[in-house]
Chain A
């Protein structure tokens, strides 16, 4: 009884070395937890550092609002408006395709399809999300662009419209899976209650389930938009990369990501054009950052609402 307790300690406790290793491992794990924040900060910092000379020499606002993009002429003009307009057209066309189709598909598989169909459906959509964008660009070049050209009687099929259609298809998996999650998260008591009151399934869906999941569906659309704005390879291959400001989506256009991807390979490292492209990247980063942040806080609020 009076035997000191620590005589038995060595057999249970780890030797000092492994305890030190344990502390080290824990530290490494904690540091790893911070990498996402650190990386996001580093991305912002490096974009800013590399675009500093463009911002001080050309001016951020005169780039954002500049109408002319002649980066290689003697008196170089670095206006982002052609790229911004093109990005906007591509995003609008993409959203007009993927929002109705994506949300409707999500509603169908969440509310009307039985579980087996739902599982198969989700894995096919998941599979589609895995097709590399460059392959979709290739399919767009060989199928979509000729179709757009002949259907709308254009000089070239390589337009913001063609790129937007393909980007819209690319955004489908994002919108379907997030909207479906949002619908799935609606407690089934709500549906049961509505059905018990004599509503049909569709009445329940559009009067109860969809309103209850509306913020999640909204977030899905936002994230789809973020993807549409940031998509690079498809627009680089399909949008036509013209330097003018397109008045309609049926003209060749360039987008912010497409311009960066198309021109960074040809610029002098550290030169003004190079720095301007980083400034363009900074603008792109900030826009998508705000969109993602908004979508995420909406999602989080929804998650908290249904948490039991």
Chain B
């Protein structure tokens, strides 16, 4: 009797403590989002989004900065998506169960854990200097693409794995080749999953600072006329304004932070809604 009541007390205590920890993590997440909203939302209006900065970034808007981040992200997608999706297809559809494949997976998992600044160093050595792209959108996007690859590969592979094998067999039994099966049967079904995962990865890339610090960005640059120009970018802009500007203008700093976070979250929410709509279409 006393033992079981003690156990019940321990149960209640444990549950409370664990729940408090969970609540702490949750409130940190919600608190940060709320704080950014609270500090930044009021400063963002149409002019802020569509005007260039004036008077050493203390007035005006952040239009060229937003455009710079969009450029960087689009170029990153151009570099990372084809390779990443094909690598995912390889792992899910072609890779034999061998030691080599195991090492491939290990390499992918490991790439996801390489610090972002190391990607920055790699980008400087290979893309900026060796390939001669200098500080440019291309060099920055290639660096970001390397960083995003593991996310895209993993989400592609996962999306492909969720497709029942019967579907593959049915297509092959009809005489379709393996590639045709992939192109006409598997990719259309797995598409939403692949795209969702990839956009999640790309939205992370859009918020990264360290990899582009020395490969792509300048604190002040005109809107790039081509991929070989340097560019402004939201995360870097924010970093400089928060730490190094002599006369920080809180509306610019928090407005920029809000735009960055809101942009990334909007992208994620839109994709999540689209995904669940797509999911309802396909059933087995």
Contacts and interface: CB of A to CB of B under 8 A. Distances in A.
B204 A135 contact: no
Interface in A1-58: 12, 14, 22, 25-26, 28-30, 32-37, 39-40, 42-43, 46-47, 49-50
B203 interface: yes
A47 B90 contact: no
Interface string B209-224: 1100110000000000
Interface residues of A, number: 88
Contact of A284 (B87, B117, B153): B117
A172 B28 CA distance: 10
A130 B165 CA distance: 33
A28 B115 CA distance: 29
Interface string B111-147: 1111111111110111001100000000000000010
B118 A134 contact: no
Given A26-B179, A121-B26, A233-B239, A33 B94 contact: yes
A223 interface: yes
A129 to B, nearest CB: 8
Contacts of B177: 14, 22
A202 interface: yes
B257 A289 contact: no
A217 to B, nearest CB: 14
A229 interface: yes
Nearest to A169: B28
A138 B238 contact: yes
A226 interface: yes
Interface residues of B, number: 88
A131 B257 CA distance: 10
B242 interface: yes
B235 interface: yes
B190 interface: no
B235 A134 contact: yes
Nearest to A101: B21
B275 to A, nearest CB: 12
B19 A112 contact: yes
B149 A39 contact: yes
A260 interface: yes
Interface stretch (B29-37, B51-59, B60-68, B70-78): B29-37
B8 interface: yes
Nearest to B121: A281
B3 to A, nearest CB: 11
Q: Secondary structure at chain A's binding surface: helix, strand, loop or mixed?
A: helix
Interface string A285-300: 1001101110111000
A264 B109 CA distance: 27
Given A132-B207, A296-B106, A43 B118 contact: yes
Contact of B149 (A35, A108, A139, A229): A35
A50 B125 contact: yes
Contact of B8 (A36, A200, A281, A289): A200
A201 B18 contact: no
Contacts of B24: 101, 105
A147 to B, nearest CB: 13
Interface string B91-106: 1001100000001101
Contact of A237 (B95, B115, B243): B243
Contact of A264 (B10, B106, B113, B214): B214
Interface in A188-204: 200-203
Contacts of A143: 35
B7 interface: yes
A201 B11 contact: yes
Contacts of A154: none
B90 A132 contact: no
A261 interface: yes
A127 B32 CA distance: 11
Contacts of B26: 105, 121, 124-125
A233 B35 contact: no
B260 interface: yes
Contacts of A33: 86-87, 90-91, 94-95, 104
A202 B11 contact: yes
B18 A285 contact: no
Contact of B209 (A47, A100, A112, A233): A233
B261 to A, nearest CB: 6
B30 A232 contact: no
A84 interface: no
A25 B33 contact: no
A249 interface: no
Contacts of B239: 134, 137, 233, 236-237
Interface in B229-243: 235-236, 238-239, 242-243
Q: Which 9 pairs of residues, A with B, have the shortest CB-CB distance? A: A230-B115, A132-B207, A33-B90, A104-B21, A128-B29, A32-B86, A108-B18, A292-B113, A105-B22
23 contacts: A28-B86, A29-B94, A32-B84, A36-B108, A40-B107, A40-B111, A43-B146, A104-B18, A104-B21, A105-B25, A107-B18, A131-B261, A132-B261, A172-B25, A200-B7, A230-B118, A232-B210, A236-B239, A257-B115, A264-B214, A288-B115, A293-B106, A296-B109
Given A32-B84, A50-B121, 17 more contacts: A30-B90, A32-B83, A32-B86, A32-B89, A36-B111, A36-B150, A43-B118, A43-B122, A46-B122, A46-B125, A105-B22, A113-B22, A134-B238, A206-B14, A227-B113, A232-B117, A264-B213
